[in-house]
């Protein structure tokens, strides 16, 4: 029986998260270019590791079309300047894609197939909204293989509220407000500056630096979001105030085997 090796998460960075759509800071920036700039920074921060020591590059995207299509891991690796000998591949597990990319890479290390992995994800929801250019097989609904509500994240969230009634709308609202406040505090005390990589991007107003999350609302309060509409179900519990924002961004990380010094 093969003995699994321990896997160490070495370092990780991310871009600022921009608002999806024409008003977002990344509207004119390619998805793969976002990822490339972050990979280059990750390599710079870990310059004791020769790039040729990287055994695989795993990158995730939900909509694998356009500028986040091709084989994204290989695409990003080549554009970031990694040697041609470094392979790469793409995964898609919808919202859990980047997490799956990391656990997939960790599995390669644990099984001894690799020593060093670079993994992460990118989403340009402004350019490639979820479900765009997707054609569902009509059998899914006609043969009741899935409930139609399972195809929409907002309705899925409402279903989860049904399944776990102890997670009330008030709880979701309070969690959302607390998240905004905690993230604002992390920006203020410098924690996020250690993780978020500023990058120059071209916008309708010319070149600017994308260095801060656009969706952050530190002034948010329970009173401000309590009475927002519930677009996915009349009298529902999911609102724009307690849901994840539609954003553009990327985040790679590096992992290695425990046996490496």
- For the stretch 38-62, pLDDT in tens is 999 999 999 999 999 999 999 999 8
pLDDT at 188: 95
Q: Tell me the pLDDT tens digit for each residue of 138-188.
A: 898 889 888 877 778 899 999 999 999 999 999 999 999 999 999 999 999
Alpha carbons 97 and 228: distance in angstroms, whole number: 30
What does the pLDDT average to over 193-215? Answer: 94
Domain spans, the chain = 7-131+247-257
Is the pLDDT score of 261 beyond 50?
A: no
- Rounded to whole angstroms, the Cα distance separating 198 from 210 reads 6
Residues 79-96 have pLDDT tens digits of 999 999 999 999 999 889
For residue 245, pLDDT over 90 is answered with: no
Q: Per-residue confidence at 225, pLDDT binned at 50, 70, 90?
A: very high
Question: What is the average pLDDT score of the chain?
Answer: 93
CATH class of 7-131+247-257: alpha beta
pLDDT bracket for residue 131 (50, 70, 90): low
State mean pLDDT over 219-228: 95
pLDDT band for 70, please (50, 70, 90 cuts).
Answer: confident
pLDDT digits (tens, 9 = 90+) for 11-44: 999 999 999 999 999 999 999 999 999 999 999 9
Phi, psi of 44 (to 5 degrees): -65, -40
Distances (CA, A) of 215 to 154, 167, 229, 246, 249: 18, 24, 19, 9, 12
């Amino acid at each position: 029986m093969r003995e699994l090796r321990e896997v160490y998460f070495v370092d990780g960075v991310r871009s600022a998260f921009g608002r999806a759509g024409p008003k977002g800071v990344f509207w004119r920036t390619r998805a793969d270019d976002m990822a490339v700039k972050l990979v280059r920074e990750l390599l710079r921060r870990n310059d004791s590791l020769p790039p040729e020591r990287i055994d695989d590059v795993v990158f995730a995207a939900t909509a694998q079309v356009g500028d986040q299509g091709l084989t994204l891991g290989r695409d990003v690796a080549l554009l970031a300047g990694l040697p041609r000998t470094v392979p790469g591949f793409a995964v898609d597990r919808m919202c859990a894609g980047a997490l799956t990319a990391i656990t997939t890479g960790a599995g390669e290390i644990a099984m001894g197939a690799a020593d060093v992995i670079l993994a992460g994800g990118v989403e340009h929801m402004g350019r490639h909204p979820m479900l765009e250019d997707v054609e569902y097989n009509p059998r899914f609904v006609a043969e009741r293989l899935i409930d139609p509500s399972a195809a929409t994240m907002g309705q899925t969230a409402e279903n989860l509220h049904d399944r776990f009634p102890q997670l009330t709308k008030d709880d979701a609202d309070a969690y959302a407000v607390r998240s905004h406040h905690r993230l604002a505090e992390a920006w203020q005390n410098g924690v996020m500056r250690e993780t978020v990589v500023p990058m120059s991007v071209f916008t309708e107003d010319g070149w600017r630096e994308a260095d801060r999350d656009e969706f952050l609302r530190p002034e948010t309060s329970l009173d401000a979001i309590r009475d927002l509409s519930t677009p996915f179900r009349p009298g529902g519990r999911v609102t724009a105030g307690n849901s994840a924002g539609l954003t553009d961004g990327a985040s790679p990380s590096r992992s290695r085997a425990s046996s490496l010094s």
